[in-house]
Structure 1
Amino acid sequence: MPLRVGYVREHFSSPLLQYAEIDAGKSFVLVECPSGTGQLISRLTNDEIDVAVALTDPLISGIAKGSEHYKLVGSYVTTPLNWAVITGKDTKYQEIADLQGSTIGISRYGSGSQTMAYVMALQQGWPTEKLEFKVNNDIRGLINSVNDGSTSAFMWEWFTTKPFVDAGEARFIGSVPTPWPSWLIAAHPTRATPVALRTFLSTLTTYVQTFDSPEKRAQDDVEFIKAKFGYPEADINAWLKTVNWTHDCAAIPSKVISDTLEVLEKAGFIKSPEDGFDVAHFVNTDIARLT
């Protein structure tokens, strides 16, 4: 039975999409999760997917808060994610500092849009225990929310949001890059067999290495993203300058986990047990190698 692989249909997924086109459902099928990592985690929990290519911080914070529905099995994107801070087209908010005490829009509780709001608050020196949120499911709901006044702003990946800003539906008022590599791979601890997962990760590695090569970045990557997502060529080239993928999807640096836990704890999003976190607890070491 093919693996059910949850993903977010964004430009970051391009190597995965190329793999899926060639595989044609033989070893895995893609399950789109437009609401982001909160939805991916929910679907892992509810037996709707077996594997998730998802954001680092919600995956790690979910395990830190006690989830037994998945473990980390691999790496994907090794560079930070640039989270734009977005408000409505006619709101009073002009910069991030203006948002203190307001209601922030998020896609779901436990999503990257929520964890990064804590990181933003930490950077701004705001009391994180006073943050207020409103769930708006996806980017369309989030944009509607900042324009109808029910939220002040929301956070989403810069280039994914840029077409809406270019169309005059919203405004950028700042950005907050993640203090960690942005994408990891997680899997349910029993639904996905070790053999299937190892095959998936090793083959994905070849697609990632090819996509990340200088030769492909020069033209083929640009044409693929343009065809799949309709982004202007200038935006694609600007984004490609900011992103790198792992060259071994089955390897997870232990520093990624420990550094992410440290920032999320400082931000007040998670609480460490008395004896501290055990990095190995976050990883299925039958599948992935901690480095």
Structure 2
Amino acid sequence: MNRIIKIAGVPEHFNLPWHLAMDEGAFRERGINLEWTDVPEGTGRMVKLLNSGKADIAILLTEGYVRAVSEGLEALIAQEYIATPLLWGVHVHAQSSITTQAQLVNKKAAISRYGSGSHLMAFVHAKNMAWPEDTLQFEVINTMEGAVQALGEARADYFMWEKFTTQPLVDQGVFRRVGVCPTPWPCFVIVARSDFARDEPGVLLDVLEIINGYTSEFKQIPSIDRTLSNHYGQTLADIREWLSLTRWSQEQLNSEKLESVIDTLNELNLLSNNVPVENTLWNPKEL
């Protein structure tokens, strides 16, 4: 009987390797029934699924994971997933009078939820712009559709989300991008609940081995750019640019990189408690 493993991730192009592996039965061949849940609300919602036991594994933004651990999430980084930064587009409504990022000072940011990447990156963006943290204001919008509505109704002034995911809305004249804010660290990590990592290390190793096989060969799949373009409704040119900028990882996250995330979030007063690096990186060799 296959072991049911519940995994959550955003319905975005980064995660297509997981779906290819599931469609081809790669997990079933190892006796694993991988049940995927799309979470368009992002990291904040996935943290709730992990906390409630409704997910064993999740693909989280690195900064969102660190913030969640500081607030009590019992989960470990099983591995780095995307080694390159995430390019957060800074968007306003297409009819907005705002044309530059500097004009966003004292304006309201739409965020998927508190503790999400869109929330945390608003602070990173403000730091880059040298704005005082107390000038930030937020409107919780849950999903992309909520952001479209909030900016259209002027309940929020700007919305930060991954550049290529939002590109169709820019092309359609719904949003206008006024800037890009890259994460100063690898953007996605594979996170496992601590009890799952402790009790099922062999299963977790199997999951990682399978996905690493797919991500290491992903860019060499014939016509993968066309597959991505058709699946996610993006132009071939945008997909090809995204592929050129994105690197999947098959290794554990470097402790120095994790420390830089912790240090940055500490500087921004976004951590409730200390996050010890040695207690967050899963090491199967220690089992």
- Answer whether TM exceeds 0.5 for this pair: yes
The structure 1 residue matched to 2:35, chosen from 29, 39, 48, is: 29
Trace 1:235-250 onto structure 2 (pairs within 5 A). Answer: 235-248=238-251
Moved more, 110-119 or 191-200: 191-200
**Residue by residue, what CA displacement relative to the aligned partner does 1:212-248 show, whole Å, maximum 9, x if unpaired?**
4xx33xx432132123213211111111111111133
Quote the offset at 1:157 in angstroms: 0.3
Structure 1's 207 and 287: CA in aligned 2 closer, same or farther, altered over 3 A?
farther
Structure 1's 137 and 191: CA in aligned 2 closer, same or farther, altered over 3 A?
same
- Provide the C-alpha distance between the structure 2 equivalents of 1:145 and 1:287, rounded to a whole number of angstroms: 48
Does residue 221 in structure 1 map to residue 219 in structure 2? no
- AA paired with 1:233? L
**Residue by residue, what CA displacement relative to the aligned partner does 1:16-75 show, whole Å, maximum 9, x if unpaired?**
121121237731111110111111111111221110011111011211x23233221111
- Structure 1 regions of 5+ residues with no counterpart? none
Show the counterpart of 1:108: 113
Does residue 129 in structure 1 map to residue 131 in structure 2? no
Show the counterpart of 2:194: 189
Quote the offset at 1:205 in angstroms: 0.7
- Provide the C-alpha distance between the structure 2 equivalents of 1:262 and 1:53, rounded to a whole number of angstroms: 22
Structure 1's 287 and 222: CA in aligned 2 closer, same or farther, altered over 3 A?
farther
Show the counterpart of 1:8: 10
- AA paired with 1:263? T
**Residue by residue, what CA displacement relative to the aligned partner does 1:176-224 show, whole Å, maximum 9, x if unpaired?**
0000011101111114521211110111110010114xx33xx432132
Over the aligned positions, Cα root-mean-square deviation in angstroms equals: 1.9
Structure 1's 265 and 143: CA in aligned 2 closer, same or farther, altered over 3 A?
same
The answer to whether the 8 A contact 2:71-2:273 is kept is no
Moved more, 236-245 or 184-193: 184-193
- Provide the C-alpha distance between the structure 1 equivalents of 2:261 and 2:54, rounded to a whole number of angstroms: 27
The answer to whether the 8 A contact 2:86-2:182 is kept is yes
Between the two proteins, what is the percent identity of the paired residues? 28
- Provide the C-alpha distance between the structure 2 equivalents of 1:232 and 1:197, rounded to a whole number of angstroms: 35
* Number of residue-to-residue matches in the alignment: 279
- Provide the C-alpha distance between the structure 1 equivalents of 2:72 and 2:224, rounded to a whole number of angstroms: 36
Structure 1's 220 and 38: CA in aligned 2 closer, same or farther, altered over 3 A?
same
Runs of 4+ in 1 over 4 A off after TM superposition: none
- Provide the C-alpha distance between the structure 1 equivalents of 2:61 and 2:254, rounded to a whole number of angstroms: 15
The answer to whether the 8 A contact 1:86-1:173 is kept is yes
- Structure 2 regions of 5+ residues with no counterpart? none
- AA paired with 2:8? G
The answer to whether the 8 A contact 1:73-1:288 is kept is no
- Provide the C-alpha distance between the structure 1 equivalents of 2:286 and 2:159, rounded to a whole number of angstroms: 34
